[in-house]
Structure 1
Amino acid sequence: MSSLTARLALLAYLLLATLLHPCLCHATAAAAARGAGNWRVDSKSVDQGVAYVLILLALFVTYIVH
């Protein structure tokens, strides 16, 4: 049982780290861009972020169902 708990804790940590890392990096880059006064949303980055979230969701659902 503790092995399963450890695996789930590690999976949760990796999932959070994967999801939060781009946010933290983007916040640093956005702070620098705000100083320049030309802040825009890059649609390609948004699409890629949505794709990553959907892939992670599909993996999670597959893991739960299996």
Structure 2
Amino acid sequence: MATLKVYLLLFTAFFLSGLMQLSTATQTAAAPAAAPARVIDAKAIDQAIAYLLMFAALFVTYFSH
């Protein structure tokens, strides 16, 4: 059972990291060649916080059962 938890944790981590890479790939692909100074994207920050909260809720739910 412990190995199942480890595999689930690793799978979830790789899955979420893949989702994060997809969101940054679409943002950088649409950027022009001569990009201006780096600007903080509030939508990306909100999305990252939402992913972290969902990830935390998943583990709280998983470990409480």
TM bucket normalised to smaller: 0.5 to 0.7
**Residue in structure 2 matched with residue 54 of structure 1 by the alignment:** 53
Matched, 1:17 2:9: no
Aligned length: 63
Where structure 2 has 5 or more consecutive residues not aligned to the other structure, the ranges are none
TM-score normalized by the length of structure 2: 0.62
Structure of greater relative contact order (alpha carbons < 8 Å, 6+ residues apart) = 2
Relative to total residues, which structure has the larger helix share, 1 or 2?
A: 1
Consecutive unaligned residues in structure 1, runs of 5 or more: none
Measured after TM superposition, the shift of residue 16 of structure 1 is 1.8
Q: Give the structure-1-normalised TM-score.
A: 0.61
